[in-house]
């Protein structure tokens, strides 16, 4: 019984269904029972919801080399506060994570920290320079879960094709930052009515869809060679891009896609303030694109939520819109934000949203889904569907204590996060931490 926890009168919701109320006994890293039992630690959870732990396929944790912005300890602690049990870190660090030794070092440090589990992504090409491929086999054996040059676009289609082939040989996914560099040029926001009015350089939506179209053709080519590649489209932001992904899925192409909390809740109208807080890549799009993405999320053309958590120092984000870096932090509020904006305000089905945070990303990465059943891994999040409170960036565990959603009143805040039965975050039960 040592170490066991009983969640009493808790509502169970996973990516398959709303399973109703139960008494859940957790121990030995597993769900031992959905019919109660005896435990030395009891959480009275009436009114709360228990779900599988969230999985983020796309986060920038800045280690190594940029620890002033974020490090593994602050980033993985922020993830645990957000209900995440699993996080994929991007490799565009200093130096770039493109060797087995770098992957192994990150994993070992994350284990010592003991917060959310880290699944490092490694660079598709050496130094993310888009020329020479990284060594897929060694990276896989070291623990990398996908290969990506995220932060840079893969301009050479031949290199991408070879990368897909080698990645497929070792069971790795290739994720792409789908923007055509020639069309994007120096755009700092979406090219459209707002950018024209402000006189700012724009990034057209077609920069995204043109690159998605090319990458899907590369995927078809590699598949025609009798191989089994997997392509993941990062931070999808446009209706046209979604249409291309939807059609590819109908054809049976092995492609998955993610959308971010900011592309689902904000539009380019926010840039009228000239506040660089809203400067992200790809840029915030018009309302029509946001509505299309929401439909794609509902129907499953968009497989999952990827936060694209991208912390910078406050001084960097305080620069003007032309000079400030792209990116915002959001690991700690992705779930309450989308629960509030989609489920509470728009009637989005709760199990479907849970699936986009759990089953969807895990399947895209080749990880087994976690469902609420006896014997399942006890990597779980307990969250409160009520208890609305405003977003307070000053209270973030992340080093990036600013947010475009500051002051927004959100419900659904995680209360307790467990990784294999071990409590890694507790908002109201500090005695459970160990």
DSSP secondary-structure letter at 236? -
Q: Is 308 a catalytic residue?
A: yes
CA-based torsion, 33, 425, 331, 125: positive or negative: negative
In terms of C-beta density within 10 A (0-12 exposed, 13-18 middle, 19 or more buried), how is residue 150 classed?
Answer: buried
User: Are 10 and 27 contacting, i.e. CB atoms less than 8 angstroms apart?
Assistant: no
Report which of 177, 230, 251 is spatially closest to residue 364, judged by C-alpha positions.
230
Q: How far is 168 from 116, CA to CA, in rounded Å?
A: 27
Q: How far is 429 from 434, CA to CA, in rounded Å?
A: 11
Is cis: bond before 163, omega within 30 of 0?
A: no
What are the percentages of helix, strand and coil residues in the chain, rounded to 5? 35, 20, 45
Q: Residue 263: what are its φ and ψ, rounded to 5°? A: -75, -15
Report which of 143, 79, 137, 64 is spatially closest to residue 107, judged by C-alpha positions.
143
Query: Would you list the DSSP string of 279-302?
Result: --SSPP--HHHHHHHHHHHHHTSS
3-state secondary structure of 215: helix
DSSP secondary-structure letter at 277? G
In angstroms, what is the C-alpha Rg of the chain? 21
Catalytic member of 14, 86, 215, 308: 308
Query: Would you list the DSSP string of 27-69?
Result: ETTEEEESB----SEEEE-TT-EEEEPEEEEEE---TTT-TTT
Active site residues: 308
């Amino acid at each position: 019984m040592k170490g066991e926890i009983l969640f009493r009168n808790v509502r169970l919701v996973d990516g398959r269904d709303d399973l109703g109320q139960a008494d859940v006994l957790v121990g030995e890293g597993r769900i031992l029972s959905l019919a109660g039992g005896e435990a030395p630690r009891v959480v009275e959870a009436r009114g709360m919801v228990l779900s599988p732990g969230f999985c983020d396929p796309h986060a920038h944790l800045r280690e190594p080399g940029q620890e002033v912005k974020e490090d593994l300890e602050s980033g993985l602690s922020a993830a645990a506060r957000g209900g995440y049990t699993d996080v994929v870190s991007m490799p565009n660090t200093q130096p770039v994570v493109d060797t087995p030794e770098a992957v192994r070092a990150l994993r070992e440090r994350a284990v010592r920290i003991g917060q959310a589990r880290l699944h490092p992504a490694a660079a598709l090409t050496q130094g993310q320079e888009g020329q020479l491929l990284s060594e897929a086999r060694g990276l896989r054996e070291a623990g990398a879960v996908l290969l990506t040059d995220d932060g840079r676009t893969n301009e050479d289609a031949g290199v991408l094709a070879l990368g897909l082939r080698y990645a497929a040989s070792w069971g790795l996914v290739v994720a792409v930052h789908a923007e055509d560099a020639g069309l994007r040029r120096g755009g700092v926001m979406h090219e459209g009515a707002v950018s024209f009015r402000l006189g700012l350089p724009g990034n057209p939506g077609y920069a995204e869809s043109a690159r998605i179209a090319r990458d899907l053709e590369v995927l078809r080519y590699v598949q025609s060679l009798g191989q089994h590649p997997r392509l993941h489209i990062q931070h999808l932001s446009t209706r046209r891009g979604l249409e291309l992904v939807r059609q590819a899925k109908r054809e049976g192409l092995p492609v998955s896609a993610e959308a971010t909390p900011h592309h689902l809740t904000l539009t380019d109208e926010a840039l009228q303030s000239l506040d660089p807080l809203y400067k992200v890549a790809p840029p915030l799009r018009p309302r029509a694109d946001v509505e299309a993405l929401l439909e794609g999320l509902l129907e499953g053309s968009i497989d999952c939520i990827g936060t694209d958590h991208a912390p910078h120092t406050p001084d960097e984000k305080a620069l003007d819109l032309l000079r400030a870096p792209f990116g915002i932090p959001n690991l700690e509020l992705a779930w309450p934000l989308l629960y509030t904006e989609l489920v509470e305000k728009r009637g989005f089905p709760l199990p479907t949203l849970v699936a986009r945070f759990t089953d969807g990303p895990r399947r895209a990465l080749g990880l087994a889904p976690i469902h609420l059943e006896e014997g399942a891994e006890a990597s779980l999040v307990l969250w409160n569907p009520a208890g609305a409170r405003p977003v307070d960036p000053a209270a973030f565990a992340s080093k990036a204590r600013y947010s475009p959603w500051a002051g927004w009143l959100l419900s659904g805040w995680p209360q307790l996060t467990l990784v294999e039965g071990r409590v890694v975050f507790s908002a109201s039960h500090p005695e459970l931490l160990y």
